[in-house]
Chain A
């Protein structure tokens, strides 16, 4: 019976074969595992095109900037020298979901990629709350088209150099240009273009108002403590600059906005690496195994798939020369499988640690986990003692006041909670990136901008501060100062420009 169903035994792919695989994988994903996905658009590309895709941060279109060229040059160089392989696929959070398959892949690899990207990542993009909240899959391509043509237009009108300088500054602040608490309105190309001009005029008038009332010196003295501006510190530096920088031209504000929007688009991806890759790996593993069980693929096919799979989810130990931190594929995949195990065959420990999911429908639990968590909370919620033992996890405290490093927890009864908390914390974007806020603007004086860095665990701020401040100054147009606040509330000036 199995022989009739066999799709193909070759390793050469062809479009009819790919379609056949997609049909079967899609059928299993939908009917059996109830995965909800966007429509798929699979594009077969060459390795050269893959390098192109790499260098524009994986986006199918983007505005031009030298830094993408640098990325391109570096990737190309490494690839040519054989120092790195290219990813088998790139998948874009859009509707339809665009996935790039490399032509060099063998048929089993293409099938793996289809299962991984087009059903794994795709359903994650559609289901996870962060993506739902922060990105509009149906509008992103339109927005990128808009952004690209707008930037090109600005380059024509104001000169490439001018635009490049502005983009440099914006890119430096990209990580500090994300909203964490507000849903951006979905944008379409037509709408964006229509509103852009209105926005320009409106913003400009707002800015003028802000600075119009110059007080007289005498009144200034008697006046009570002035209202702070901004009323509360703001953490979205690019947003603050876009809305409030006094000297920016309307087109410059628009470009700041474009960079901010693209940063925002990537924000969920940065927060869900473990989950996203774990989810996709779990599904390519599960879907292809089911194909095998049903007799659609041969032993040889499955061996090749499993070999790639094993490479992807391999976790070297901390003392291995290959160790470079925890592999998100490995951790994510193990956790997803572990959740399934807890649901299907729980033991006493699982029942004690996970009373509400032990023994329930694993598909529902897994989908719930996928939809409602990010890496940090996902690990805090679902990392099981058993998995900590399997990974033989341990946490090390590095305190520069002590002479030695200290092992604070290992995979034992006393350490599980501590370990889980520590690992979750490691994925907390809020603590991984320095906390820098717009503290105040000297509206009455020299209009200087005051930024404050709030230290976390006494970790100092680094990263060529002078250069960073020059970028911020370039955007703000007036003096910029950067202070750091330590745990005791002591304020210290770090740099000014």
Chain B
């Protein structure tokens, strides 16, 4: 009558669809929560999920029910001293009649918030929702510039280094067997005749016997003369080239570390870079990051040094751009790499250097790049570099610039820069 079923290995996450429906329905609220979170928490731990809150009045499902008021008679257990007719003070508002409602929150999260955890992927999806890397589609779908070589069976010709020995020798054995078989057949016939003669006690010097022996010997020589291996046997491993979308990207982080960039500005720049890195991570299998910092001269450094060490001195932006160009030329061929660069600066630059930067970008760098983003971390007025770059913005598709005022701007600016471009 009874039977047991072990369902433990069975369908898990049956509610995954419902969960997605829920997230979809509250997407706008969730996006707000996520945008808040990005500014609040350290971006270094963007690898984890995120706890989000949405007001529970938004997620509640309405039903008709009785409101408070009117008369209500309730029965309760545990009477100690009451007798019929006793009058009691009304309990403080909220817990009317001891109906068990109005539980206080125990974790500092008001009952007004529906709190739950997003997984990392859900979090990032919301974060990067409807963002698209500029020109990404073009490069991935149309400009298949890189080829991957894949095995495609065997072929009868090819380079000697691709000879498949086992396959070739198997072919040789088959060829030899096939070519030798008529000889072997005749040898068998002659040997039978010879044996018959010998059994009949034909004398050893009978001419027929020696003829037979000679013929057999001849045939054996023919068989032995068959080539052990022939060009005909050779089989080569065949390879074909399949076009593969480029999935490598290099990201240049360029930051001004001159005296005018204080810690706060650097931390803003850092957020921007990390967001960019995270975003590229989602789109490319392999990402190289090159950190270049500059004051009057530029230097390639590691991440630690990039963000945390400090220099003083003037500012020559073109030094950094030149270094970027050198690094690209040496290490990152633009046909194989998607090149991105983000420059953060307070806009301060040596007066006559700004036009140089502009020309450097327009003529040398931008043609090699997918995208160059410039953020100016300067709350008030613009500086020389901004005006020089502004001329670029009008003409070059790959170039974008924005101004960041405070931490909460980073994400908005990021979105603005990488806004989904019409195809």
A463 in complex: contacting residue of B65, B72, B74, CB < 8 Å: B65
A405, B61: Cβ atoms closer than 8 Å: no
Question: Given A64-B21, A410-B82, is A400 in contact with B69 using a C-beta cutoff of 8 Å?
Answer: yes
Residue of A nearest to B59 (CB): A70
B77 in complex: contacting residue of A118, A168, A315, A403, CB < 8 Å: A315
In the complex, which residues of chain A have a beta carbon less than 8 angstroms from the beta carbon of B82?
Answer: 394, 407, 410
* B85 CB-CB contact with A under 8 Å: yes
* B1 CB-CB contact with A under 8 Å: yes
B73, A395: Cβ atoms closer than 8 Å: yes
Beyond known contacts A69-B20, A400-B70: 14 more, CB 8 A cutoff:
A40-B2, A43-B6, A52-B14, A55-B18, A172-B61, A318-B77, A324-B100, A325-B100, A391-B78, A396-B88, A398-B74, A406-B87, A423-B75, A463-B64
Residue of A nearest to B86 (CB): A407
Residue of A nearest to B83 (CB): A410
In the complex, which residues of chain B have a beta carbon less than 8 angstroms from the beta carbon of A40?
Answer: 1-3
In the complex, which residues of chain A have a beta carbon less than 8 angstroms from the beta carbon of B6?
Answer: 15, 43-44
* B15 CB-CB contact with A under 8 Å: yes
Q: Quick one: CB contact mask for A159-180 with B, threshold 8 Å, 1 for yes? A: 0100010001001101110000
How far in angstroms is the closest Cβ of chain B from A229? 23
* B67 CB-CB contact with A under 8 Å: yes
* A311 CB-CB contact with B under 8 Å: no
Complex Cα gap A323–B88 (Å) = 18
B84 in complex: contacting residue of A168, A174, A407, A422, CB < 8 Å: A407
User: Taking each of B59, B61, B73, B96, which has the highest tally of chain A beta carbons within 10 Å of its own beta carbon?
Assistant: B73
How far in angstroms is the closest Cβ of chain B from A484? 11
In the complex, which residues of chain A have a beta carbon less than 8 angstroms from the beta carbon of B74?
Answer: 395-396, 398, 422, 426
* A468 CB-CB contact with B under 8 Å: yes
Interface residues on A, range: 35 or more
* A42 CB-CB contact with B under 8 Å: yes
Q: Main SS of chain A's interface residues?
A: mixed
How far in angstroms is the closest Cβ of chain B from A317? 3
How far in angstroms is the closest Cβ of chain A from B61? 6
Complex Cα gap A404–B5 (Å) = 57
In the complex, which residues of chain A have a beta carbon less than 8 angstroms from the beta carbon of B19?
Answer: 69, 72-73
Between A and B, 18 residue pairs with Cβ closer than 8 Å are A41-B5, A55-B18, A69-B15, A69-B18, A172-B61, A174-B63, A176-B64, A323-B98, A393-B77, A404-B89, A406-B86, A406-B87, A407-B87, A410-B84, A414-B84, A422-B73, A455-B70, A460-B69
B75, A404: Cβ atoms closer than 8 Å: no
Report the 5 A-B pairs with minimum CB-CB distance, sorted nearest first: A317-B78, A462-B67, A69-B22, A69-B18, A459-B70
In the complex, which residues of chain A have a beta carbon less than 8 angstroms from the beta carbon of B22?
Answer: 66-67, 69-70, 72-73
User: Taking each of A37, A66, A160, A464, which has the highest tally of chain B beta carbons within 10 Å of its own beta carbon?
Assistant: A66
* A392 CB-CB contact with B under 8 Å: yes
- Which of B111-119, B306-314, B355-363 has 4 or more CB atoms under 8 Å from chain A? B111-119
A66, B25: Cβ atoms closer than 8 Å: yes
* A116 CB-CB contact with B under 8 Å: no
Question: Given A73-B19, A73-B22, is A397 in contact with B71 using a C-beta cutoff of 8 Å?
Answer: yes
How far in angstroms is the closest Cβ of chain A from B411? 25
A73, B5: Cβ atoms closer than 8 Å: no
Q: Quick one: CB contact mask for B44-88 with A, threshold 8 Å, 1 for yes? A: 000000000000000101111111111111111111101111111
A457, B71: Cβ atoms closer than 8 Å: yes
In the complex, which residues of chain A have a beta carbon less than 8 angstroms from the beta carbon of B87?
Answer: 404-407
* A419 CB-CB contact with B under 8 Å: yes
A404, B62: Cβ atoms closer than 8 Å: no
Complex Cα gap A394–B18 (Å) = 44
Q: Which of B16-47 contact A (CB under 8 A)?
A: 17-25
* B151 CB-CB contact with A under 8 Å: no
- Which of A2-10, A18-26, A198-206, A210-218 has 4 or more CB atoms under 8 Å from chain B? A18-26
Complex Cα gap A64–B14 (Å) = 10
* B171 CB-CB contact with A under 8 Å: no
* B97 CB-CB contact with A under 8 Å: yes
B12, A48: Cβ atoms closer than 8 Å: yes
* B203 CB-CB contact with A under 8 Å: no
In the complex, which residues of chain A have a beta carbon less than 8 angstroms from the beta carbon of B65?
Answer: 433-434, 461-463
In the complex, which residues of chain B have a beta carbon less than 8 angstroms from the beta carbon of A326?
Answer: 75-77
Complex Cα gap A389–B72 (Å) = 22
B78, A49: Cβ atoms closer than 8 Å: no
* B90 CB-CB contact with A under 8 Å: yes
In the complex, which residues of chain B have a beta carbon less than 8 angstroms from the beta carbon of A51?
Answer: 15
B84, A409: Cβ atoms closer than 8 Å: yes
Question: Given A407-B88, A458-B70, A461-B66, is A46 in contact with B12 using a C-beta cutoff of 8 Å?
Answer: yes
* A312 CB-CB contact with B under 8 Å: no
* B99 CB-CB contact with A under 8 Å: yes
A422, B75: Cβ atoms closer than 8 Å: yes
B73, A397: Cβ atoms closer than 8 Å: yes
Q: Quick one: CB contact mask for A176-195 with B, threshold 8 Å, 1 for yes? A: 10000000000000000000
How far in angstroms is the closest Cβ of chain A from B39? 24
Residue of B nearest to A38 (CB): B1
B75, A403: Cβ atoms closer than 8 Å: no
* A491 CB-CB contact with B under 8 Å: no
Complex Cα gap A308–B357 (Å) = 76
Complex Cα gap A405–B98 (Å) = 11
User: Taking each of A69, A409, A456, A462, which has the highest tally of chain B beta carbons within 10 Å of its own beta carbon?
Assistant: A69
* A113 CB-CB contact with B under 8 Å: no
B79 in complex: contacting residue of A44, A410, A426, CB < 8 Å: A410
B79, A393: Cβ atoms closer than 8 Å: yes
A404, B114: Cβ atoms closer than 8 Å: no
* B148 CB-CB contact with A under 8 Å: no
Q: Quick one: CB contact mask for A459-485 with B, threshold 8 Å, 1 for yes? A: 111111101100100000000000000
* B10 CB-CB contact with A under 8 Å: yes
B62 in complex: contacting residue of A52, A56, A172, CB < 8 Å: A172
A52, B2: Cβ atoms closer than 8 Å: no
In the complex, which residues of chain A have a beta carbon less than 8 angstroms from the beta carbon of B68?
Answer: 400, 460, 462
Q: Which of A399-447 contact B (CB under 8 A)?
A: 399-400, 403-412, 414-415, 419, 422-423, 425-426, 432-434, 436
Complex Cα gap A254–B377 (Å) = 59
In the complex, which residues of chain A have a beta carbon less than 8 angstroms from the beta carbon of B115?
Answer: 77
Complex Cα gap A391–B89 (Å) = 23
Residue of A nearest to B74 (CB): A396
In the complex, which residues of chain A have a beta carbon less than 8 angstroms from the beta carbon of B11?
Answer: 49
Residue of A nearest to B115 (CB): A77
Q: Quick one: CB contact mask for A70-99 with B, threshold 8 Å, 1 for yes? A: 101110110010000000000000000000
Complex Cα gap A73–B23 (Å) = 10
B7 in complex: contacting residue of A43, A391, A411, CB < 8 Å: A43
Question: Given A55-B15, A406-B88, is A396 in contact with B2 using a C-beta cutoff of 8 Å?
Answer: no
User: Taking each of B13, B14, B75, which has the highest tally of chain A beta carbons within 10 Å of its own beta carbon?
Assistant: B75
* A320 CB-CB contact with B under 8 Å: yes
* A319 CB-CB contact with B under 8 Å: yes
Complex Cα gap A164–B97 (Å) = 38
B62, A471: Cβ atoms closer than 8 Å: yes
In the complex, which residues of chain B have a beta carbon less than 8 angstroms from the beta carbon of A171?
Answer: 61
* B138 CB-CB contact with A under 8 Å: no
User: Taking each of A319, A394, A406, A436, which has the highest tally of chain B beta carbons within 10 Å of its own beta carbon?
Assistant: A394
Question: Given A405-B88, A407-B88, is A323 in contact with B100 using a C-beta cutoff of 8 Å?
Answer: yes
